[in-house]
Structure 1
């Protein structure tokens, strides 16, 4: 079964999901072979296995080859949901394996991503997604480089009082809408425009296939009718950007810091934070260590085992709020790779999957029997807000000096709408959840 056939088994997908169809429909005149030769599109190198002795966390893996829809697949879904519940309510991270996107397709996506991120710096600045520095951003008019369309330049974020980041990424917005992805008014670099069909096909596969299945498993955990979370928060309506679930694509690379900068940051490249969307899907193109999770039970930072074949997923703030704190938006960071992997590129494709901007971020509307059993309700101090409000406000804080110019791991505590911007979870005591 092909990717397009897998997605099209659902009757309410409002866009094309076949790369060939998308190419013929929207960019038939681009000579892809000629563009690839011009930008040196080539295989992306994997890293060798590290020989360093690291404390490693191997995430629970959900095998989606076992997922079956329909009455005959109920037992398989129940088993997957039971495995998911422990991870999603504690550390907030897990892997998905065997989910239907082939290794060959991933290798192609890695080659395309590499070529886009290798564009000359002067070209990247023509297509940047925000200001050169986070603190220079006019947040009343701009989403900022974090969520804007285009390239985030190196040094945009403040890591701590003395060091700025050395991370680059390229954002593509609203990938689940044809009218947005292929908008002729959008200013794409040539190499990116030539490969919008392949890029769009991958992220649409994540949204309409992987996310949809994941929502069903979450419904089972919450004892809701299957399809509830999808219908209420993540379903896509053609050209309706307010009431559709969606998100944005990111192609990202960590260049690493200088030795003296690593000393100043205690080897940190991207400080601890949680993500604002519903879920984040991360696909690393090389098995390089760097991602660390703040352990839910001990507060200790632990390396996550990178697995090239797996899709690494973490819970975002939106799903934590929608479930009243039962699902955990994990605190994670990126540190220097082991010495024997520092010569390799740490590059990845990320999908930040948002619930609809109109989604209300509290558990009252769900009426979840599971949350009722646990006496989990909306805390009184939480203001009633929609996802676009939370996402916009949190985006304004990330990487700014007033939050990050501190010693140690934790940024300054900032409360918004009765909720801490970063919650830095520890074990809940008898479900008396403090966030």
Structure 2
């Protein structure tokens, strides 16, 4: 599965050229690791997004809080301050702040409900979101074919012009040296993503993926490559054939003093009215449409389960962790 800390490397250009070997590598990574590097080079350049993130998080806290997301009630767009989510089963607050920018607000509604620093970059945001989504549709078409479905079935559930939980996330955390400490400091707790496909860029280490033997493996940034992973929605839609994997963000021995760490993430999720059930025959009986949550309902439930304000006990923590690759019953 894993080769040390090195994830499989998939070449996006070869995928667009319908290279059968590259498509098979993609499907193998998606059914085993659930994570891979995607070689994109100049196809998707996160540099403008990193510049925007640095400006966004220098805004006064009072200004940022004017746009705070209502996570307690399942709303996942807007600003998330440090400590509003928990990082472990004890309910320890996280140490990450992020800003979730709704794809719908940029692409569909052309919303102006943003601080000026974001409004000034709406054209750039639109371009970045469009390209990220284009890449994801290529991946979804290949996965749909490999699952022996209509090649356009998964893409049709992720149309950019339809309302969904898709978002661009700007993330900031401060990582500290771990030399001399007895354990790493966890900035964002172990979890699986609850979307379909995640495209991540970071410039500093700190991301860890859970290996096959239960060890935490660092996933280092690789120039010209995005880190891509599947989320729990793909586990459900594929009847467990595709895999999401547990990951977390921690302090790292790669820094000698406290350092700001920025990440740029695009999350693709099924359209709001998609019923969260298997699309393939995997030896399981599908639940009736009337029993399956819509993607919008399912996302809201997952968001609520992450919030410090909703933490009650260790069971709350278990509910926040996701399918962990196969545990559909604990979403």
Determine the C-alpha separation between the residues in 2 that align with 1:275 and 1:333: 10
Unpaired stretches in structure 2, ≥5 consecutive residues: none
Determine the C-alpha separation between the residues in 2 that align with 1:290 and 1:395: 23
- The corresponding residue for 2:63 is 123
Give the Å deviation of 1:359.
1.2
Contact 1:360 1:385 in 2 (8 A): yes
Determine the C-alpha separation between the residues in 1 that align with 2:286 and 2:259: 46
- The corresponding residue for 2:158 is 234
Contact 1:236 1:246 in 2 (8 A): no
1:96 counterpart = 2:24: no
1:86 counterpart = 2:28: yes
- The corresponding residue for 2:97 is 168
Give the Å deviation of 1:258.
9.8
1:413 counterpart = 2:331: no
Determine the C-alpha separation between the residues in 1 that align with 2:55 and 2:106: 24
Contact 1:281 1:352 in 2 (8 A): yes
Determine the C-alpha separation between the residues in 2 that align with 1:342 and 1:93: 29
Q: Secondary structure of 1:255's match?
A: strand
Give the Å deviation of 1:403.
5.4
1:292 counterpart = 2:171: no
TM-score by length of 2: 0.85
CA, structure 1 residues 308+219, in 2 after alignment: closer, same or farther (shift >3 Å)?
Answer: same
- The corresponding residue for 2:240 is 325
CA, structure 1 residues 225+199, in 2 after alignment: closer, same or farther (shift >3 Å)?
Answer: same
Contact 1:90 1:328 in 2 (8 A): yes
**More contact order relative to length (CA 8 Å, sep ≥ 6):** 2
Q: Secondary structure of 1:210's match?
A: helix
- The corresponding residue for 1:5 is none
Give the Å deviation of 1:402.
6.7
Determine the C-alpha separation between the residues in 1 that align with 2:53 and 2:68: 16
Q: Choose from 270, 273, 292 the match for 1:384.
A: 292
Determine the C-alpha separation between the residues in 1 that align with 2:234 and 2:129: 20
TM-score by length of 1: 0.66
Q: Note the alpha carbon deviations across 1:337-376, whole angstroms, 9 max, x for none.
A: 215365432111111111111112222xx3x4xxx4xx44
Determine the C-alpha separation between the residues in 2 that align with 1:254 and 1:114: 11
CA, structure 1 residues 413+98, in 2 after alignment: closer, same or farther (shift >3 Å)?
Answer: closer
1:205 counterpart = 2:105: no
1:216 counterpart = 2:141: yes
Determine the C-alpha separation between the residues in 1 that align with 2:213 and 2:329: 16
CA, structure 1 residues 423+224, in 2 after alignment: closer, same or farther (shift >3 Å)?
Answer: closer
CA RMSD of aligned residues (A): 3.1
Determine the C-alpha separation between the residues in 2 that align with 1:247 and 1:162: 27
Q: Choose from 35, 40, 61 the match for 2:9.
A: 61
- The corresponding residue for 1:114 is 54
Contact 1:56 1:303 in 2 (8 A): no
Q: Choose from 303, 323, 344 the match for 2:259.
A: 344
> Counterparts of 1:15-94 in structure 2 under 5 Å?
57-68=5-16, 73-74=17-18, 76=19, 78-94=20-36
> Counterparts of 1:392-411 in structure 2 under 5 Å?
392-400=300-308, 406=314
Unpaired stretches in structure 1, ≥5 consecutive residues: 1-54, 415-419
Determine the C-alpha separation between the residues in 1 that align with 2:142 and 2:297: 27
Give the Å deviation of 1:83.
0.2
Determine the C-alpha separation between the residues in 1 that align with 2:277 and 2:41: 30
1:360 counterpart = 2:275: yes
CA, structure 1 residues 83+162, in 2 after alignment: closer, same or farther (shift >3 Å)?
Answer: closer
1:282 counterpart = 2:200: yes
